[in-house]
Amino acid sequence: MKLALNTKAILWVAFFTALGLSFNAHATPPDAVAGKVKAQACFACHGENGIGISPEIPNLAAQPPLSLTYQLIQFRGQQRKGGAMETLAMTLSDQDMRDIAAYYSSLPPPPAKSGNADKIAKGGQIASAQYCNSCHGPQLQGQKHIARLAGQSQDYLVTQLKNIRSGARIDMDGTMGSAARGLSDEDIDVLAVYAASLN
Ligand code: HEC
Ligand code: HEC
């Protein structure tokens, strides 16, 4: 028996198994070129450039690949629902998800959006006070399985923060649920304006 232990992979497998999610960690490396072909079905909403065509559709461009894969697994497992994504993800294999994630993550990040300067400043203060940056990255650019918030659609961010706060959107390891619980509607509003203003 070969004991080529990849601790990180094992931890992820344990994590997903504990949650009842299936994911095959041993597969061909992600292929962004194949991913682009497989992502044709996504372009109608998320764009070929990874920019959502309307405010309720998230930008996928430059999101960390693991975050994209992780969300697709949640949709496929019906743990997360919204925007018919749970139906769309049903047809995707683990390899499809990895390839599509490689494609979207390789694209240039969405442009920063201008917004009310007071709200941007307030949002920045709340983000540091609440340590959003400690998980989502100094410029909220995302990392590992944690989503990029920089340049994300403001409306989408507000919806997701409210859903995570109420528990309507599950939060797999509990960390984001705790982070959202103490936020007021006003906090959420300014945080979304701040995040959208970053690039
Ligand atoms: C009919 C429009 C539509 C199509 C087609 C579509 N999506 Fe989505 N997608 C959405 C909407 C709307 C959401 C936000 C769902 C929510 O509110 O939770 C979303 C969310 C997502 C997310 C979560 C992003 C995040 O930051 O958490 C991922 C990943 C995603 N879609 C990938 C895909 C992929 C891959 C495809 C193609 C196989 C696809 N989508 C096709 C509308 C669409
Ligand atoms: C301890 C780590 C941690 C902290 C602190 C944290 N987050 Fe998160 N955040 C996560 C994780 C993990 C997810 C993915 C949750 C999931 O889908 O299970 C997430 C998801 C999100 C999402 C959904 C993104 C998308 O594309 O759908 C938003 C919005 C968000 N966080 C905003 C914030 C804000 C604003 C703060 C500060 C108030 C914050 N987060 C603090 C870890 C964290």
Task: Answer yes or no: CATH 1.10.760.10 is held by domain 117-196.
Answer: yes
For 64: left if phi > 0, alpha if psi spans -120 to 50, otherwise beta; the answer is beta
Ligand 2 neighbour 147 (Cβ under 6 A): yes
Question: How many helices and strands, by DSSP H and E, does the chain display?
Answer: 11, 0
Looking at the CA of residue 42, tell me the nearest atom of ligand 1. Answer: 37
Backbone angles phi, psi at 62, to 5 degrees: 65, 15
* Atom 36 of ligand 1: nearest residue by CA position: 42
Ligand 1 neighbour 74 (Cβ under 6 A): no
pLDDT at 28: 86
Task: Answer yes or no: CATH 1.10.760.10 is held by domain 29-105.
Answer: yes
User: Ligand 1 centroid to 1 CA: how many Å?
Assistant: 40
What residue segments make up the domains of the chain, in order of their start? 29-105, 117-196
pLDDT at 21: 56
For every one of its 199 residues, what pLDDT tens digit does the chain have, with 9 covering 90 and above? 333 333 344 444 445 544 545 566 567 899 999 999 999 999 999 999 999 999 999 999 999 999 999 999 999 999 999 999 999 999 999 999 999 999 999 999 999 999 999 999 999 999 999 999 999 999 999 999 999 999 999 999 999 999 999 999 988 788 999 999 999 999 999 999 999 999 9
Please provide the DSSP assignment of 37-102 as one string. HHTHHHHHHH-TTS--SSTTSPP-TT--HHHHHHHHHHHHTTSS--TTHHHHGGG--HHHHHHHHH
pLDDT at 23: 61
Looking at the CA of residue 44, tell me the nearest atom of ligand 1. Answer: 5
pLDDT at 171: 84
Query: Fold identical between 29-105 and 117-196?
Result: yes
Instruction: Give the helix, strand, coil percentages of the chain, each rounded to 5.
Output: 55, 0, 45
pLDDT at 52: 98
